[in-house]
Structure 1
Amino acid sequence: MSCAAAALLAAAACSSSPRKFEPICVPGTQELCYSGPPSTAAVGACKTGIKTCDDDGMDYGPCEGQVQPTDELCDTPADENCDGKVNEACVYPGCASVPAGSPSGVYLSDPGAAGAIQPPAVYCDMETDGGGWTLLYNSVGSETGTTMPFWDIPLLQRFGGKGEPSLGANVYAGWLYLHGTEYRDEAEDLEGKVVQLFHARTTGIEPETLRFKSPELVSGDSEIYAAQFAAGWSSSDFDGDTSTSNCSEQYSHVTQHYSACWVYNLGSDADTPLDDSGWGPHLQSAAARRLGLYADESGYTRVRRISRWVRW
């Protein structure tokens, strides 16, 4: 037999022998496992599972206990599709309809239930006083001087919207006045302390004047309630406050609810100069101290934020 033939026979004999496999794991040991997209593991409702090494050590059993992404549900506070957002594609009549237990944040809202093609985004407070509060306006102090001009809102734009819903930005969602029956104002001082200014109820609003119908103080500071809610409303081109002058025109064209004229202002100072470098929200220093907020030595102190929330 030639050497070549002998080599072929040897190779055939080797190929017909049973192959031996080495174990890949120690029987009974366990490891974490997950079959969904890696970026969704341990995000939202998604959970990793456990797989157990088979008795022969040749493979692992099924991944038990894992939860993979599913379609987002609108009636739960969970992030079922595990993208780090809760109910981001869901449309609610208002924040009070967002499932209890959902985090505060941005949601889509269509109060008129008219099936808006592009429902507006709103910021919901899901924690304070039972949750379900929608951010109607938010004035944030800024060293850039951009806040004060933001609040020059003419009469014809009283039900419009400006800014993106966020507690860190200037926001105006005037269309919410057409739906609200419960209101809450709050302020944050320069040291980060947040207090509720007042909580009020109303049966609606007069659309032409923005005067509240049958306003009622539920709790909070009665002076601020009287000055910023129970009286009138003014813009630079509409005098609806109870002062003999137009409070908006007098105070840097800032549009808001006034009496004669204000305890807080969304954009103007009452100390000279009124623009205060365009900072934005100011609160009467006496009122700030009364509420336990930081106040400087002036008559009207800067605050970091003044917000109005609405619920219905």
Structure 2
Amino acid sequence: MALGKGSVAGACCAAIVLLAAAPACSTKVRRFDDGGAGGGVVASASSAGEGGAGGGGGGLPCDPGSQVDCYSGPPGTLNRGACRGGVRTCGEQGNGYGPCAGEVVPAPDRCDTAEDEDCDGEVNEGCAYARCRDIPPGLPSDVYLLDLDGAGPEPEFPVYCDLETDDGGWALLYNSVGSEEGATLRFWNIPYAERLGTRGEPALGQNFYRGSLYFVGREYRDDIEDLEGTVKEVMRATAEGIDSTTMKLLRPTHVTGDANIYFAHFLSGWSSRDHDGDTDLDGNCALEYQNVAQHYAQCWEYNLGADADEPTDDGGWGPHLGTHITERLGLASDETRYTRVRRISRWTRW
């Protein structure tokens, strides 16, 4: 369920954004900055008259039926977000203009629309959602606040949501990004105690990991971007949660995509430098491949940080994919047996 922001303080303050002139309010209201040209009242009382709807009230003389543009919102908000100007119409007696009809002035942001109701340039500012599926249609894939009702380590936290693929609703669970600087290999050296924690900031261009999303995830997909920028979905699976001790997913099912990736990096348990939870009988997959923690079974279809060619640390680049898979998927290779790729991402939704 979407969580809305608080309303503008008090009915008295709400009148500030509804009337061109209003009595002073004792409570604080949100300040609107001056956004430059186009803000403020378009037709003031001195130029348009102050008559009522029928043109009475002793306003300045005007031509009956004539109209002037008007806007009573704060400076800098006109034509920003949902805010729009209106018109005043001169009354039948020609002695004043009526109210500003049709104007839309700032109001508290709502969380169930894709509009910027408070006209401050930020859409759904401060909103939090139970899942990426709840974000209103029309908003772009981006970082949003999620609130899992106590299921996660924090009451609210940022997640990158893919709102486009297959009806959207996907939350980024992990993201390994290739880097000549060697930072990616170090990033994935995650100890067992931090297997459900968070590393990095949620963005497609950065390394990121939030293990706690395995608790709520029910659908999963893995994407790989090759060295030429082509992105392919390589696997889909479902699960009903995770065993937080072994990190084995509960009742996993392969849906589509590469069966070897599903077996090697989803069906299996967690392996890190200090925990041998993989099913490889020859040892600890993480120790064998530069302490890169992840789900392992046969140790290799893809790796979030290490190469499987010697040397397994090829400058610390990061994500690698077996070239036999790149060939099946039509992805680009660097002509080695285990090619570098730009990005390996895991998404989940529920």
Are the equivalent residues in 1 in contact too, given 2:88–2:97 (CA < 8 A)? yes
Partner of 2:184: 147
Partner of 1:78: 115
Deviation sequence 1:11-59 (CA, Å, 0-9, x none): xxxxxxxxxxxx99xx96876x654445444443x2433547969x999
1:219-238 superposed matches below 5 A: 219-238=256-275
Q: Structure 2 CA distance, aligned partners of 1:114 and 1:249? A: 31
* Structure 1 residue 289, shift from structure 2 partner: 2.3
* Structure 1 residue 295, shift from structure 2 partner: 1.1
Q: Provide structure 2 residue ranges, at least 5 long, that are not aligned to the other structure.
A: 1-60
* Structure 1 residue 128, shift from structure 2 partner: 1.0
Match status 1:96 vs 2:144 = no
Q: 1:114 to 1:283 in 2, by over 3 A?
A: closer
Letter in 2 for 1:143: E
The number of residue pairs the alignment matches comes to 288
Query: Given the alignment, which residue of 39, 48, 51 partners 2:84?
Result: 48
Deviation sequence 1:91-119 (CA, Å, 0-9, x none): 22221232333321111112134798751
Q: Provide structure 1 residue ranges, at least 5 long, that are not aligned to the other structure.
A: 1-22
Partner of 2:143: 106
TM score, norm. by length of structure 2 = 0.73
Partner of 1:201: 238
Q: Structure 1 CA distance, aligned partners of 2:97 and 2:312? A: 73
Match status 1:272 vs 2:340 = no
Letter in 2 for 1:243: D
Letter in 2 for 1:192: G
Percent identical residues: 54
* Structure 1 residue 77, shift from structure 2 partner: 2.8
Higher strand share: 1
SS in 2 for 1:295: coil
SS in 1 for 2:309: coil
SS in 2 for 1:278: coil
Are the equivalent residues in 2 in contact too, given 1:184–1:198 (CA < 8 A)? yes
| Worse-matched range after superposition: 241-250 or 93-102 | 93-102
Partner of 1:8: none
* Structure 1 residue 268, shift from structure 2 partner: 0.8
CA RMSD, Structure 1 to Structure 2 (Å)? 2.9
Q: Structure 2 CA distance, aligned partners of 1:121 and 1:164? A: 8
1:183-202 superposed matches below 5 A: 183-202=220-239
Are the equivalent residues in 2 in contact too, given 1:88–1:108 (CA < 8 A)? no
SS in 1 for 2:264: helix
Partner of 2:208: 171
SS in 2 for 1:248: helix
| Worse-matched range after superposition: 195-204 or 89-98 | 89-98
Computing the radius of gyration from Cα coordinates, the structure with the larger value is 1
